[in-house]
Homo-oligomer: A and B are copies of this chain.
């Protein structure tokens, strides 16, 4: 399966500002790319690419006052298979985990593991450990939190989600991640493309957040928001939580003016992808 990936994000910049974008496909998927995956900027800026401490490809640049457009279109080969799952995957005792995994058991900005240790055990302590426990976490979050675009805010933490019971995809994942960590299951936040391949059309194409849990000896994809195996996720970045992997981080003011994402299967009859990107207002 081929998936067209594209974005067109536009800002009004009131004064020169440094920015970091995490808009590239994750290095783990580079070999699947069939077209270049380079951030295009208007105006043309000096963009420096680097790999951060989590292994994500980042692009940094300094945007001048004025209008800024970030865009690209690329094509990726995908297995077309739904997220793998493995009901027999086991939890690893903390003492046996690789060193670099341990950080994903700790508290982070939006995941107050220290405030959830009792709650998590009360809710999930009786569930059989392993895949079924992570799935139970996802089920709980999916059943108890309502999706509402109007109820997003940048300061919302797992504890806020747990009490307010409403949020967007990032909020679902933050709560699930926090439960997992409180149960000593390493969990990390993931961002990427997720379209509607294989499911009834639900929402405009967009970036999405999901999470990964560490079972057996690898990371597995979970998604407390959609809570079903999906086809066509394309990973962009992983980190402790949304604070580490914002699609764009600006170190100063940058006012979002336009936001458009494409992620859909490309077939012989697809419309020209450039069409999507031509004239954001």
Residues of B with C-beta under 8 A to A159: 159, 163
Q: A44 on the interface (CB 8 Å rule)?
A: no
**Do the beta carbons of A251 and B94 come within 8 Å of each other?**
yes
**Do the beta carbons of A243 and B155 come within 8 Å of each other?**
no
Q: What does the 1/0 interface line of A135-154 toward B look like (CB < 8 Å)? A: 00000000010000011011
Residues of B with C-beta under 8 A to A20: 102
Residues of B with C-beta under 8 A to A165: 118
Chain A contact residues, CB within 8 Å of chain B: 18, 20, 50, 52-53, 58, 60-62, 93-95, 99-100, 102-103, 105-109, 111-112, 114-116, 118-119, 122, 144, 150-151, 153-155, 159-160, 162-165, 184, 243-244, 249, 251-252
Residues of B with C-beta under 8 A to A103: 52-53, 244
Residues of B with C-beta under 8 A to A114: 109, 154-155, 243
Number of copies: 4
Complex: how many Å from CA A95 to CA B61?
7
Complex: how many Å from CA A162 to CA B155?
13
Shortest 7 CB-CB distances between A and B: which pairs? Answer: A18-B94, A115-B163, A18-B95, A62-B95, A94-B251, A107-B109, A50-B99
Q: State the Cβ distance, A223 to closest chain B Cβ, in Å.
A: 22
Complex: how many Å from CA A148 to CA B279?
28
Q: A112-B155, A114-B154 are in contact. Are A184 and B106 (CB under 8 A)?
A: no
**Do the beta carbons of A108 and B108 come within 8 Å of each other?**
yes
Complex: how many Å from CA A154 to CA B122?
21
